[in-house]
Amino acid sequence: MNWNDKLSATRAGLRNLHGAIPDTARAFGALGKTVKEGGTLDFKTKEFVALGISIASRCEPCISLHVEALVKAGASREELSDVLAMSIQMGGGPSMMYAAKALECFDELVG
């Protein structure tokens, strides 16, 4: 399965979950919007933080969503690579495996 297919599957799963727990899903969505729009850091920086946490948490669906947001925000491969290196430093070997997935996703989505 390619990363675009994984993104589609993730979104389908989230739509299904939203149908089951709409109030919770709306509240979570509002939290995300508030966090991304407010504060001192710009959107791209916040997405880099989210990507690092996604890698350390080993959440492949999260990785794909945050990499996609970073591609749309104009992140470069070099910027992404710096974040991947920091994620590996903080998370060790398992983070290295998920960092590889993030780079693969980035390369496919920009490619």
pLDDT of the chain along its 111 residues, tens only? Answer: 799 999 999 999 999 999 999 999 999 999 999 999 989 999 999 999 999 999 999 999 999 999 999 999 999 999 999 999 999 999 999 999 999 999 999 999 998
In CATH, what number is assigned to the domain containing residue 55? 1.20.1290.10
CB-based contacts of 54-59 (< 8 A; 24+ apart in sequence): 54/98, 54/102, 55/84, 55/87, 55/88, 55/91, 55/95, 55/98, 55/99, 55/102, 56/87, 56/90, 56/91, 56/95, 58/94, 58/95, 58/98
In terms of residue numbers, what domain contains 79? 3-110
CA–CA distance, 92 with 9 (Å, rounded to integer): 28
Yes or no: say if 107 and 3 are a contact pair by the CB < 8 Å rule. no
Give the pLDDT score at 111. Answer: 86
Count how many domains the chain has.
Answer: 1
Give the pLDDT score at 105. Answer: 97
